[in-house]
């Protein structure tokens, strides 16, 4: 996408004066750290549970002489790699290698019964430098992955720094560029800013923003809120960041008013984000009822690709959201309201983002739902007006639909599961991947990498609303598993650090994670329609526009699919809309954008053309909304 000759930085201190400053000048004065480029780095944690004194290489486990030669940070990284090699004796490499080989073999045997043209197929499996606890499909075509530095290499133990204090409680982030393939060179580290957390250690480290909440801004940037202060079973951080996909840089904003660990975020029709829930700074078991909005209403919404939120404040929303449990599902539906669907059956609420009020929705038929997925169902030319709630209870295979103010029990899946991820595909069908019995339990007890094979099997929901089992993925993926639809129509599956560590082909290297790619059935039904050209600038709602296709006569549908940003089975960004096809002339197809921002909140969408068999083109990015 063409970039402006300069970039502006949106700051509350300059907006009041109506001034836009140069991004470079402000970034330099604010000392915003640049994002590191280059190949993936080895783990950079110190591996202890106690405090670490800044600059003390010995306290961080590094060799002082090595630190003097190559610097403390790299010395700590080398020390971490050596520790990983030593610690691997408790869970030897041979066990990991044998496990991955067994999963590969059993996947091949199971999937022989599923023809690709009907069920799709899992095509590629490759190492990643990150666990993928958080994912975002960026409008540049790249994928942002972020999580934490591992503190254990034994998958029968807690590998994340949830309860750690000091340097080990650190985050990390990478970009995967599918255009560069699947090797190490296709990944680039985009290290989060260095922060000092209020944990009493005064230990600088990459921001521990894992288990945060996130959503897209209208300019394609990803806003990330919360994280882990460490200790207290996991406590909420007030952190607020934006990742700029255009310059591949992180920017820090003003802290939120409360700490949040496991919050949810959704972007409304006005482009502003609503932030709810999350464990507070007091620790696990203390979810905050405070709702915040970003950016504050007195500040403009970042609309253009060069409007960078930096040092921007959020503000308190007029109504509270006293969810008893964290990570509620949030959706902005076509009535412009925000629907907050809690894990508890009696905590289903409707929020008015203009009046800043909350009112009750009917009790959900099912009782408590844990880490399950929820999807705003496609509704043709209009935005979604109903949500399907799936999973979250291994003993209940039913799905539940909220439509307007009423619930109905819909078609069940083959079995109940938690930690599942359900995606809307370009042809409006649904795909469920991942799943487990419960948190850290795959069917044979917690922290046991051996999994019940059924949780590896996908499920597919057709246009008739019926579910059917599909092919098996290679790794079982439960807690922290994620998936998203890519612009070429494939599905990226990743996440679950325990399973990735348990099946790591080389635990000593820097490639901690793994990614698997699924090709839906529509990619095995013959040639794809072409989408040769689409508008490069922003389009208003309710407007006609033209695209070019060398296969225009074969095109039967045009759809917009919102890109995914997801964590912990919570995906607030999904949206599928049909576009009205108003004319075809030669290779030119005339389409019309969705009518209102409530139908399709402003931002970037993937535009697909589909033929009569439901085969989609490769997508091009379309931006909705102009200011």
Q: What are the structural domain ranges in the chain?
A: 94-524, 538-624
What is the pTM assigned to this prediction? 0.89
DSSP 539: B
Q: In this structure, what token pair is assigned to residue 589?
A: 């197809």
Which candidate, 508, 260, 262, 481, places its Cα nearest to that of 391? 481
CA distance 272 to 484: 23
CA distance 372 to 389: 8
Percentage of the chain exceeding pLDDT 90: 83
Percentage of the chain exceeding pLDDT 70: 86
Q: Is 64 helix (H, G, I), strand (E, B) or coil?
A: helix
Pairing of strands 555-561, 264-267: unpaired
Q: In this structure, what token pair is assigned to residue 216?
A: 């897209």
Query: Which segments of 465-524 are extended strands (E)?
Result: 467-472, 481-485, 491-495, 513-519
Per-residue confidence band for 83, with pLDDT thresholds at 50, 70 and 90: low
Q: What residue has token string 């997508």? A: 619
* Helical H segments across 460-563, by residue range: 497-502
Q: Virtual CA dihedral for 490, 495, 500, 502, nearest 10 degrees?
A: -130
pLDDT digits (tens, 9 = 90+) for 130-180: 999 999 999 999 999 999 999 999 999 999 999 999 999 999 999 999 999
CA distance 531 to 440: 43
Largest CA distance in the chain: 72
What are the Cα distances from residue 494, in Å, to 429, 611, 613?
Answer: 21, 30, 29
Q: Is 315 helix (H, G, I), strand (E, B) or coil?
A: strand
Check if the beta carbon of residue 564 is closer than 8 Å to that of residue 138.
no
> Averaged over 275-290, what is the pLDDT?
96
The better pLDDT of the pair 497, 20 is held by 497
Per-residue confidence band for 59, with pLDDT thresholds at 50, 70 and 90: very low
pLDDT digits (tens, 9 = 90+) for 297-312: 999 999 999 999 999 9
Which candidate, 496, 500, 504, places its Cα nearest to that of 568? 496
Ramachandran region of residue 231, left (φ > 0), alpha (ψ -120 to 50) or beta?
Answer: left
Cis peptide before 295 (omega within 30 of 0): yes
- The DSSP string of 66-135 is HHHHH-HHHHHHHHHHHHHHHHGGGS-HHHHHHHHHHHHHHHHHHHTTS-HHHH-EEEEEEEESS--SEE
Which candidate, 493, 473, 477, 390, places its Cα nearest to that of 442? 477
pLDDT, residue 405, reads 80
Sequence-ordered list of residues with C-beta below 8 angstroms from that of 299, at least 6 positions apart, any chain? 10, 12, 15, 312, 313
477 pLDDT more than 90: yes
pLDDT digits (tens, 9 = 90+) for 406-422: 999 999 999 999 999 99
The better pLDDT of the pair 116, 31 is held by 116
pLDDT, residue 26, reads 32
What is the C-alpha R_g of the chain? Answer: 23
DSSP 462: -
94-524: CATH number: 2.130.10.80
pLDDT digits (tens, 9 = 90+) for 226-239: 999 999 999 999 99
- Quote the mean pLDDT of the chain: 89
Strand-pair partners of 387:
376, 402
Assigned superfamily of 538-624: Immunoglobulins (2.60.40.10)
pLDDT, residue 28, reads 32
Which candidate, 605, 600, 574, places its Cα nearest to that of 383? 600
Q: In this structure, what token pair is assigned to residue 360?
A: 């009750």
CA distance 10 to 348: 35
CA atoms within 13 A on the CB side of 547: 31
């Amino acid at each position: 996408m063409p970039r402006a000759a300069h970039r502006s930085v949106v700051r509350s201190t300059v907006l009041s004066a109506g001034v836009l400053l140069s991004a470079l000048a402000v970034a330099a004065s604010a000392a915003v750290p640049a994002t590191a480029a280059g190949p993936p780095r080895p783990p950079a944690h110190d591996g202890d549970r106690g405090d670490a004194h800044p600059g003390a290489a010995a306290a961080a486990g590094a060799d002082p002489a090595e630190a003097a030669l190559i610097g403390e940070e790299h010395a700590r990284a080398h020390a971490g790699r050596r520790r990983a090699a030593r610690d691997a004796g408790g869970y030897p490499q041979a066990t990991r290698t044998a496990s991955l080989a067994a999963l590969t073999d059993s996947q091949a045997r199971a999937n022989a019964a599923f023809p690709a043209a009907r069920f799709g197929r899992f095509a590629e499996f490759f190492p990643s430098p990150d666990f993928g606890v958080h994912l975002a499909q960026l409008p540049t075509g790249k994928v942002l992955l972020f999580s934490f530095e591992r503190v254990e290499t034994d998958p029968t133990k807690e590998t994340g720094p949830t309860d750690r204090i000091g340097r080990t409680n650190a985050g990390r982030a990478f970009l995967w560029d599918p255009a560069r393939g699947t090797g190490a060179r296709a990944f680039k580290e985009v290290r989060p800013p260095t922060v000092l957390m209020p944990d009493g250690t005064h230990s600088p480290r990459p921001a521990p923003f894992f288990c945060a909440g996130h959503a897209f801004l209208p300019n394609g940037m990803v806003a990330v809120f919360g994280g882990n202060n460490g200790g207290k079973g996991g406590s909420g951080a007030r952190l607020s960041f934006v990742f700029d996909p255009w310059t591949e840089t992180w920017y820090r904003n003003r802290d939120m008013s409360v700490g949040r660990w496991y919050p949810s975020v959704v972007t409304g029709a006005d482009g502003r984000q609503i932030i709810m829930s999350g464990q507070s700074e007091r620790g696990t078991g203390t979810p905050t009822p405070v709702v915040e909005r970003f950016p504050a209403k007195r500040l403009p919404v970042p609309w253009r690709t060069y409007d960078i939120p930096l040092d921007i404040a959020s503000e308190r929303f007029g109504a509270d959201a006293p969810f008893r449990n964290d990570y509620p599902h949030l959706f902005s539906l076509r009535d412009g309201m925000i629907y907050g669907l809690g894990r508890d059956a009696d905590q289903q609420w409707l929020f008015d983002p203009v009046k800043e009020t909350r009112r009750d929705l009917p009790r959900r038929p099912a009782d408590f739902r844990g880490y399950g997925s929820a999807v705003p169902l496609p509704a043709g030319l209009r935005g979604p007006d109903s949500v399907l709630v799936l999973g979250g209870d291994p003993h209940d295979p039913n799905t539940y639909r909220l439509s307007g103010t009423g619930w109905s029990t819909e078609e069940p899946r083959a079995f109940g599961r938690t930690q599942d991820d359900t995606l809307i595909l370009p042809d409006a069908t649904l795909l469920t991947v991942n799943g487990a019995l419960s948190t850290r339990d795959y069917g044979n007890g917690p922290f046991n990498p051996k999994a019940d094979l059924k949780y590896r099997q996908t499920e597919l929901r057709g246009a008739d609303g019926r579910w059917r089992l599909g092919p098996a993925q290679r790794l079982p993926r439960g807690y922290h598993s994620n998936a998203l639809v890519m612009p070429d129509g494939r599905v990226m599956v990743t996440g679950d650090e325990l399973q990735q560590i348990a099946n790591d082909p080389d635990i000593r290297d820097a490639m901690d994670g793994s990614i698997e790619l699924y090709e839906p059935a529509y990619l095995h039904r013959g040639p794809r329609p072409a989408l040769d050209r689409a508008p490069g600038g922003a389009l208003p709602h309710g407007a006609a526009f033209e695209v070019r296709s060398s296969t225009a006569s074969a095109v039967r549908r045009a759809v917009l699919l919102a890109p995914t940003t997801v964590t912990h089975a919570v995906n607030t960004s999904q949206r599928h809309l049909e576009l009205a096809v108003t004319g075809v002339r030669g290779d030119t197809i005339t389409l019309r954008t969705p009518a209102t921002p409530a139908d399709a909140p402003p931002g970037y969408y993937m535009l697909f053309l589909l033929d009569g068999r439901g085969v989609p083109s490769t997508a091009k990015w379309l931006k909705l909304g102009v200011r």
